[in-house]
């Protein structure tokens, strides 16, 4: 079974979760096609920095699964059009997952292509994922110091996402979380947890200061720009409580957080586009504001 890997670390983890679930249930060997990162450099492949199960797919493995195509691309689409058996071998997300469940494979090999952003899939294998989504190598010293500071008292992570969400097509589909959302989330948590410190994680700390109040119990975390987004995600997950953006990055920080008494707050509208359904992304146990 080969899973196509693309996007940032949040997307990669959803793709891994699907492959890992199917591998656990079927015993299939799990392989990853991350060749997209050879062509697009705005994101980095991060799964190899974690203690995940599965290997990178070799060219021969991709050819064997995608035959008569040799790699993902135009030939795959033509095969799907003309060969009915190929639609069962190359499985595309937009034809599946209407109810949030993982697809059932009907043959011995498959290529899975999608984002698979459905909460039921990772939550169904929560403990294995929390064990495996850990670092192979020690975290850099600056992040370790931040993590120690976070662990010293009641803490909450706030994620403010800009970056590619500021692009026109993403603004139409996702939108940006408002200052009112973050204030409401902070008020909600402060009413319940005394002495709370908020740690603001953002790909644009200057703009984050425009939507999050600058007060004594707020710490703005400056990104290190070293490409280790997976480390930032794990630091964020060490906070006691999480205020997510409408982003898979903070979704996974909340998922990986093992605090049994945690509050997770997520936007009431995950998508700005009314034609996009968010009912399968956000777990019902999370607070929507």
Q: What is the DSSP string of 109-147?
A: --EEES----THHHHTTHHHHHHHSSBSSPPPHHHHHHH
Over residues 219-236, the mean pLDDT reads 94
Domains of the chain: 2-128 (3.40.50), 138-288 (3.40.50)
Q: What is the pLDDT of residue 93?
A: 84
Which residues neighbour 51 within 8 Å (Cβ) at sequence distance 6 or greater?
131, 132, 133, 134, 135, 136
- Around Cβ 136, how many Cβ atoms within 10 Å? 9
Q: Which residue reads 């493995």 in tokens?
A: 61
Higher per-residue confidence, 165 vs 269: 269
pTM: 0.93
Q: What gap in Å lies between CA 289 and CA 287, rounded to an integer?
A: 7
Q: What is the pLDDT of residue 197?
A: 98
Q: What is the pLDDT of residue 97?
A: 47
C-alpha angle with apex 269: 156 to 18, nearest 5 degrees?
A: 75
Q: Exposed/middle/buried for 155, CB within 10 Å: 0-12, 13-18, 19+? A: buried
Burial 210-240 (b: 16+ CB within 10 A, else e): ebbeeeeebebbeeeeeebbbbbbbbbbbbb
Given strand 2-4, what is the order of strands in its sheet?
A: 55-56, 31-33, 2-4, 111-113, 90-92
For 231-251, write each residue's pLDDT tens digit: 999 999 999 999 999 999 999
pLDDT band at 106 (very low <50, low <70, confident <90, very high): low
Q: What is the pLDDT of residue 32?
A: 98
* Mean pLDDT lowest among 32-36, 64-68, 178-182, 274-278: 274-278
pLDDT band at 74 (very low <50, low <70, confident <90, very high): confident
Paired residues of 3 in beta bridges: 32, 112
Q: What is the pLDDT of residue 172?
A: 72
Q: What gap in Å lies between CA 266 and CA 246, rounded to an integer?
A: 7
Mean pLDDT estimate for the chain: 90
Higher per-residue confidence, 176 vs 267: 267
For 78-90, write each residue's pLDDT tens digit: 887 778 778 778 8
For 35-49, write each residue's pLDDT tens digit: 999 887 778 999 999
């Amino acid at each position: 079974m080969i899973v196509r890997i693309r996007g940032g670390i949040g997307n990669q983890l959803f793709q891994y979760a699907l492959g890992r679930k199917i591998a656990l249930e079927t015993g299939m060997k799990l392989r990853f096609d991350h060749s997209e990162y050879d062509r697009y450099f705005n994101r980095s492949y991060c799964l190899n920095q974690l203690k995940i199960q599965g290997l990178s797919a070799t060219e021969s493995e991709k050819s064997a699964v995608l035959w008569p195509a040799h790699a993902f691309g135009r030939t795959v689409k033509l095969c799907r059009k003309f060969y009915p058996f190929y639609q069962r071998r190359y499985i595309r997300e937009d034809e599946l997952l209407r109810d949030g469940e993982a697809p059932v494979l009907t043959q011995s090999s498959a290529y899975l292509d999608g984002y698979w952003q459905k909460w039921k899939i990772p939550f169904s294998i929560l403990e294995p994922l929390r064990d495996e989504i850990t670092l192979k190598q020690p975290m850099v010293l600056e992040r370790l110091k931040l993590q120690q500071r976070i662990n010293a008292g009641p803490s909450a992570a706030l994620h403010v996402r800009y970056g590619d969400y500021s692009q026109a097509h993403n603004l139409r589909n996702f939108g940006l979380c408002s200052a009112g959302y973050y204030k409401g989330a902070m008020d909600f948590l402060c009413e319940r947890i005394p002495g709370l410190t908020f740690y603001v994680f953002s790909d644009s700390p200057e703009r984050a200061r425009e939507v999050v109040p600058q007060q004594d119990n707020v710490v703005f975390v400056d990104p290190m720009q070293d490409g280790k987004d997976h480390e930032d995600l794990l630091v964020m997950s060490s906070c006691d409580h999480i205020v997510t953006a409408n982003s898979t990055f903070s979704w996974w920080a909340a998922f990986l957080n093992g605090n049994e008494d945690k509050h997770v707050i997520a936007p009431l509208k995950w998508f700005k586009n009314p034609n996009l359904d968010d009912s399968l992304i956000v777990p019902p146990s999370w607070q929507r504001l």
